[in-house]
Structure 1
């Protein structure tokens, strides 16, 4: 009887420490068990969690602590399954991937990721490591697929610190939009100096709407649409942020400058592959564009501007005066010794 009382007291002390220092999920579980049974009923799993919580009674989170000391077993297993064994490794993982870090961890959804990030931020001082600002970003399409308006970003900033967004989330400042009657516009009443003055065949009040109209032609060709969108969004971002000009004001000199930019994009426009909803999305990959890809981009833009001129949105096509980037054509010698003789061809056909 004395031993039983001693063990019960020891268990109650452990439960008290777990309620005080354990995870919120463990505390709720223990409270519910106490309410139902009068005292906590401990399974093998909860006993281990209670024992671990008791060891943290006088402890604070450390970057060297294993994730299973602070998070529920299910979450800890999913993190360690991706090689995230410690709190420090989790912070490094988040900082490396930005707001969409959780997409790389199976069965860690947006809301659970938000809770983990909030916990890490509360303990930044004791951990001694800070999460990057954009790690708190959550893909709004994941939480509210019908609320795309929340994701719109007005691009701007400087070439060193740009505010970038992919085409589907893009908004351009009015003065650089090419809109009719925009501020600081030329005498023809447009902020785009190359806007046609005659009746336009498309209802496009500004450059983005005109580009959308062009891309709409390829709605039934998803591969082409994706490739053309990529090239046009790159141009819009460069024109507004780097060149400070509307797309509908681009001259031959602007086109030549952009051709040079394709060969060597600014570091702030380059980054590893990220979700298009992430604040870390960048229009160019770290490896840059090959000469063939640069030439392809120029051809896509020349064709797009030709169409915008044909439908009388633009007065002319500046890309028509721009040569394609030089590409290298490698000749491969025919391996005559591996050809088939006429007799063998006859046999093969037979």
Structure 2
């Protein structure tokens, strides 16, 4: 029957949407090596897809789809395909005719099943990231999403909200075929634009807590008639406490990290005031603030839960049962500053937090996790291994990673500073030791402070190679990010970002992935020469560890402490001195190891 399509019989499985996307690229003459990297994963044949295998596979797929279109497509399409086959030996497809063939072969697409590997339905880059998180099948993916809620993607490196939205959307469209249901609260809507239908009324009897953007307060708790409201004309158009808090937070709209931190502290306090003290924010007195300070030490169970999407009903203000002394101190200071502003703009008559003392802060011997720094000998061995990898023709990503690691370990950059570093802020200097030229880089660090850091000759050489991979001359003075992606993904969003041809810098979160990627390969490639302790250290290494590496190595080489402080951008010399303490601790550990050695060994050495 002409209108009855049949699935294509193949030795493994029916074609998936990845296969059709790969075939479209093949028809448009995209190299087979690129297609293999973008569209094929180990779920296809149990091994890495080679360009030759991909080309053979797609030619066979094209022939099978043409046969299906000849049997079930329109007479016009059939005549066209036959004429093309007669002229060329086999039907040649254009983008237009391929689309017609696909329409005629719609039922050749496989139906997703719970047991299918994620690599059959998502691009290899996505599938690899899911696999790394322990997600192998569609059933495991659905279970992972349902267990973790709307923020499930945060536990999968390099699966951002946009990609996660597409994954969830596809799972929902295929729920009936997969046979598994995605929870209704797995939503990725913008959390800062909640519609009225998503607002939740919070009152004294409320058993549900909601983030600030979803809170609705009844009249008696709104603060419209709060005891502490200022009697004079206010400087802000806030009729209630929610509007006043949002007006304060609006000041930080261009500082996303600060905005998130202050939002967290104010929404916690607001929810506590309404549900525990049963008062509006603008009626709280000093004894209320003292009670909240004590509450921070051990929040009630109703306020504590695992990390969830702000759109989830499982969201809670605290993700842990008790805050550290530093976090308690930060919360009190943040609230005191917010209330001071509300007094300044004459929304409140007075600031009850002024008479509340800061929580006692436990001063730790080491505020920084300097133990994560890499020992000098290990770092040198790592650099040798990385340099060897970078010599290969296909090592463009290794050369990108090398730049990131060197800017951290040789210049002490934070990951945000590294991601935002630009070529026009880097220049050679007349200073140095007479042998090597020292370059200087102007970076914008914490608190929007500029500082100048030195850049090593090895980093300049690495940057030169990385820019060559990007098709640019590093020494031509061209403006742009120091570190930028080599490959532009084919997605619409990525193509749109690169539409003007200008290179875009990596996101700071991507630096984490680059370091994790490198550490896995360093451990595998250097396994025979690494001790158990070194493997443990590398497996937990983050971008910040390379900044600590710079600090400890500089201290070991007796670089003046004030110089190290300026390079690292520490506000206090006391903070920088921790690196000196770390060197002393290392010396004592080595001495302790010597003392534990058998007496006979030491006697033999003395002889």
Same fold (TM over 0.5): yes
Question: Cα distance, 1:176 vs. partner?
Answer: 1.7
Listed as ranges, the gaps of 5+ residues in structure 1 are 1-11, 42-48, 180-189, 333-343, 346-350
Listed as ranges, the gaps of 5+ residues in structure 2 are 22-60, 74-90, 92-106, 367-557, 560-607
Instruction: Specify whether residues 257 and 22 from structure 1 end up closer, same or farther in structure 2 by C-alpha distance, changes over 3 A only.
Output: farther
Indicate whether 1:173 and 2:218 are aligned.
yes
Q: What's the counterpart of residue 344 of structure 2?
A: 310
Q: What's the counterpart of residue 117 of structure 1?
A: 172
Q: What's the counterpart of residue 36 of structure 1?
A: 69
Instruction: Specify whether residues 157 and 38 from structure 1 end up closer, same or farther in structure 2 by C-alpha distance, changes over 3 A only.
Output: farther
Q: What's the counterpart of residue 92 of structure 1?
A: 143
Question: Cα distance, 1:204 vs. partner?
Answer: 1.4
Indicate whether 1:15 and 2:7 are aligned.
yes
* C-alpha distance in structure 1 between counterparts of 2:16 and 2:196, whole Å: 31
1:101 paired residue among 145, 152, 167: 152
Indicate whether 1:163 and 2:209 are aligned.
yes
Q: What's the counterpart of residue 200 of structure 2?
A: 154
2:249 paired residue among 207, 212, 215: 215
Question: Cα distance, 1:14 vs. partner?
Answer: 7.4
Find the residue that maps to 2:296 and give its secondary structure: helix
* C-alpha distance in structure 2 between counterparts of 1:13 and 1:230, whole Å: 56
Q: Return 304-313 or 97-106, whichever deviates more.
A: 97-106
Q: What's the counterpart of residue 140 of structure 1?
A: 189
* C-alpha distance in structure 2 between counterparts of 1:51 and 1:225, whole Å: 46
User: Which structure would you say has the larger RCO, counting Cα contacts within 8 Å and 6 or more residues apart?
Assistant: 1
1:294 paired residue among 304, 320, 328: 328
* C-alpha distance in structure 1 between counterparts of 2:364 and 2:118, whole Å: 56
* C-alpha distance in structure 2 between counterparts of 1:210 and 1:51, whole Å: 55
Q: What's the counterpart of residue 195 of structure 1?
A: 229
Instruction: Specify whether residues 217 and 131 from structure 1 end up closer, same or farther in structure 2 by C-alpha distance, changes over 3 A only.
Output: closer
Deviations 1:245-273, CA, capped at 9 Å, x for gaps: 21111123321221122111233433444
Find the residue that maps to 1:302 and give its secondary structure: helix
Question: Cα distance, 1:99 vs. partner?
Answer: 2.1
Deviations 1:79-129, CA, capped at 9 Å, x for gaps: 4464312344223311232124356474844244123035347765xx6xx
Q: What's the counterpart of residue 5 of structure 1?
A: none
Instruction: Specify whether residues 309 and 33 from structure 1 end up closer, same or farther in structure 2 by C-alpha distance, changes over 3 A only.
Output: same
TM-score calculated relative to the size of structure 2:
0.38
Structure 1 contact 99–279 (Cα < 8 Å) conserved: no
1:260 paired residue among 290, 294, 297: 294
Question: Cα distance, 1:207 vs. partner?
Answer: 0.9
Structure 1 contact 270–284 (Cα < 8 Å) conserved: yes
Structure 1 contact 140–150 (Cα < 8 Å) conserved: no
Q: What CA RMSD, in Å, does the superposition of the two structures yield over aligned residues?
A: 4.7
Q: What's the counterpart of residue 235 of structure 1?
A: 269
* C-alpha distance in structure 1 between counterparts of 2:344 and 2:5, whole Å: 81
Deviations 1:29-48, CA, capped at 9 Å, x for gaps: 99x8677321599xxxxxxx
Indicate whether 1:251 and 2:300 are aligned.
no
* C-alpha distance in structure 2 between counterparts of 1:162 and 1:117, whole Å: 27
Structure 1 contact 140–151 (Cα < 8 Å) conserved: no
Structure 1 contact 299–324 (Cα < 8 Å) conserved: yes
TM-score calculated relative to the size of structure 1:
0.62
Structure 1 contact 239–245 (Cα < 8 Å) conserved: yes
